Amino acid sequence: MAEQRSPGTVPTPRRLLERLPSITVLGPFVALLLAVLFFSAQSDRFLSGQNFSLILQQVLVVGVLAIGQTLVILTGGIDLSVGFVMALGTMVMTKFAVELGLPPLLSVLCGVAVTTGFGFLNGLLITRVKLPPFIVTLGTMNIAFALTQIYSKAQTVTGLPDALLFWGNTFRLGETVITYGVVLMIALYLLVWFLLSETAPGRHLYAVGNNPEAARLMGIPTQRVLLLTYTVAGLFYGIAGWLLVSRTSVGDPNAGQTENLETITAVVLGGTSLFGGRGMILGTLLGAIIVGVFRNGLTLTGVSSVYQVLITGVLVILAVTADQLSKRRG
């Protein structure tokens, strides 16, 4: 008869190690902490409330776009169209408000409807036509870019009504000036965190990303989950577009051309697996802030923007490597 282990047995070092959070969970926190400590020592201006508020404003648009990108990547997909779809939505919002004279809120709803429609189109092509997400979103990226240039005639829209710029307004918290857009971004992250962790649709999304066939056998409508995920992602692209308009006070047809890779960078740095099924939405927020901290800190220390891009690339490779090691360990 095998010897029974008593309840008071001390766990072995191996068991203690296995109970520790994975490197993909701890990584974003450690990276952010080290970056803050390093740049605080390099510049007296870095560690101030106003500077951190500036960092949050700088990552605002990418942060909200990255919510949609995170949802897509959690299902095992990817969306290359995020920035260009957002740009099309901003042109619809601004031109409808300025040239057609529609009420600002209605103009915003029209712009968000366009971005949501693109998300629905992505999901439809992936679930019904069975095309790979990479190919589908690469195609819709080019379609959105072309439509933006055609509709805007490559002209920037100015003279926007104040209601379109609401999220760029500020309030004071002590001596720190904070924009309402930052509050909205944090609120959206908390909402999505709750939905992913505490609701059945959130758990279904993780299940589909982890093993689609097993999820289907469990009775989860995998195709519907994917379609809804891409559609909701498009909704967030529209919200990000409104935040961009509020921050820049113009409708820019050339906006969003780097956000595709920047959102993927934020998602990967935040610990979400590119293979789907694993990740934290709040980690994506940390990932976006990490990029913002590095760019802000390097700027304050006088480092060229070229090296900022270089360091960001290195961080992405390290994050993906950590994800691979964690997957092999699992």
* CA gap 93, 242 in Å, rounded: 8
Q: Are 300 and 254 in contact (CB under 8 A)?
A: no
Q: What is the pLDDT of residues 292-305, one digit of tens each?
A: 999 899 888 888 88
The helix-helix angle for 82-98 and 104-127 (nearest 10°) equals 150
Q: Which residues are CB-contacts of 155 (< 8 A; sequence separation ≥ 6)?
A: 253
pLDDT reported for residue 276:
86
Q: Which residues are CB-contacts of 249 (< 8 A; sequence separation ≥ 6)?
A: 158, 160, 165, 168
* CA gap 176, 195 in Å, rounded: 31
**Three-class SS of residue 157?**
strand
Q: Are 225 and 77 in contact (CB under 8 A)?
A: no
* CA gap 329, 149 in Å, rounded: 47
Strand partners of residue 251: 157
pLDDT reported for residue 317:
86
CA atoms within 13 A on the CB side of 146: 6
Report the Cα–Cα distance between both ends of the chain, in Å, rounded. Answer: 31
pLDDT reported for residue 13:
55
Q: Are 287 and 66 in contact (CB under 8 A)?
A: yes
Task: Measure CA 1 to chain center.
Answer: 55
Burial group, residue 211, by CB count within 10 angstroms (0-12, 13-18, 19+): middle
* CA gap 84, 92 in Å, rounded: 13
Q: How many CB atoms lie within 10 A of CB 100?
A: 10
* Residue 309, token pair as written in the block: 């891009």
The helix-helix angle for 305-329 and 23-42 (nearest 10°) equals 150
pLDDT in tens, the chain (330 residues): 444 444 555 556 555 445 545 555 677 888 889 889 999 988 888 888 899 999 999 999 999 999 999 999 999 999 999 999 999 999 999 999 999 999 999 999 999 999 999 999 999 999 999 999 999 999 999 999 999 999 999 999 999 999 999 999 999 988 889 999 999 999 999 999 999 999 999 999 999 999 999 999 999 999 999 999 999 999 999 999 999 999 999 999 999 988 888 999 999 989 898 888 888 899 999 999 999 999 899 888 888 888 878 887 887 887 788 777 766 765
